[in-house]
Amino acid sequence: MNTQTTPAPQFYLTAPAACPYLPHEMERKVFTHLVGERAPELNDLLTQGGFRRSQNIAYRPACETCRACISVRILVNEFEPRRSMRRVQAANRDLFGYEYPAEPSSEQYTLFRRYLDRRHQKGGMSDMSVLDYAMMVEDTHVHTKVIEYRKRTEGAGLEERPRGELIAVALTDRMGDGLSMVYSYFDPNEQQRSLGTFMILDHIRRARALGLPHVYLGYWVKGSRKMDYKTKFLPQEHLMARGWERYDGGSSD
């Protein structure tokens, strides 16, 4: 009889570093590797427990003096778009999204660089090379897809990789209970489209069509203005000390 057990994941702790969201705070992270046949199952469990994925690493904050980072997931079956969100959907009716295996392209990287150079010049990803980008996309042992959003052109949708200007991209994990938006970016010259909001709305639609109850948005950091958009997709749940708790707050329009 074989009594050998599957090794449990090993967790590690990073050294303190300056927090990218809140001034005068220091961040630490606990992380583990997502590799092998059990990676999809482990990714599901860890994401449900507040972890995020970056390449083959799952991590979550483990800060000593701060608990501002809160995991957020949208309750897909109860979600109804606000009036402003319906306007975003209408403004992007000329776009279509196609899902592909997690494979990078030079076209994606060109858009990615334009996004970083305009929106995140001083961020931790600002110096990513084309090889770094390729690793971000394809270094995955879980069920990951790339969703490309393009402007419609005549005849688009008839080819294996449809024509049309690439305007936004989402890197997304499909889990047992939802879709996790790992990273997304868009054309900074199309600010009037609110493409970040549009991609979240599209993921809600895709999750609902797949019968999945959640869309995971990563961390909301109270006090960080650039994170405020995440709390507009209601109702949602926040991972607190006692588990996932319903959140219906936020302003209406």
Give the pLDDT confidence of 182-191 residue by residue, as tens digits: 999 999 999 9
Q: Sheet harboring 29-33: ordered strands across?
A: 12-13, 29-33, 57-61, 52-54
Reported as a single tens digit per residue, the pLDDT across 45-62 is 999 999 999 999 999 999
CA distance 229 to 209: 24
Q: What is the pTM of this model?
A: 0.91
Domain boundaries, the chain: 12-68
Reported as a single tens digit per residue, the pLDDT across 111-138 is 999 999 887 666 667 789 999 999 999 9
